[in-house]
């Protein structure tokens, strides 16, 4: 697990908290915690993993199409 670090400048705690929440969200920690909160049947686990893989493939394909356009 990687460390998430946020520096606080001029005692601006609100800005640091916003940055921390954004970093945690981008890391996927909130999503992992939500999934682990309750039991997930093995069939649901497989289905979710397949959906996530398909989503990653679509995103990668759209990125390559976008790069090839220019």
How many whole angstroms separate alpha carbon 66 and alpha carbon 58? 12
pTM of structure: 0.58
pLDDT of residue 60: 92
Whether 57 has a pLDDT exceeding 90, the answer reads yes
Reference 1, options 29, 23, 21, 20; nearest CA is 29
Listed by start position, the domains of the chain span 1-38, 39-70
**Start-end of H helices in the chain:** 13-27, 29-36, 42-69
pLDDT of residue 32: 87
Whether 36 has a pLDDT exceeding 70, the answer reads yes
Cβ contact 34:48 at 8 Å: no
Whether 7 has a pLDDT exceeding 80, the answer reads yes
Mean pLDDT, the chain, as a whole number?
89
């Amino acid at each position: 697990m990687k460390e998430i670090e946020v520096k606080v400048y001029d005692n601006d705690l609100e800005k640091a908290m916003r940055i921390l929440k954004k970093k945690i969200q981008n890391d996927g920690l909130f999503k992992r915690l939500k999934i682990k909160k309750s039991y997930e049947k093995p069939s649901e686990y497989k289905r979710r993993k397949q959906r996530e893989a398909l989503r990653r493939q679509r995103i990668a394909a759209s990125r390559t199409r976008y790069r090839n356009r220019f």
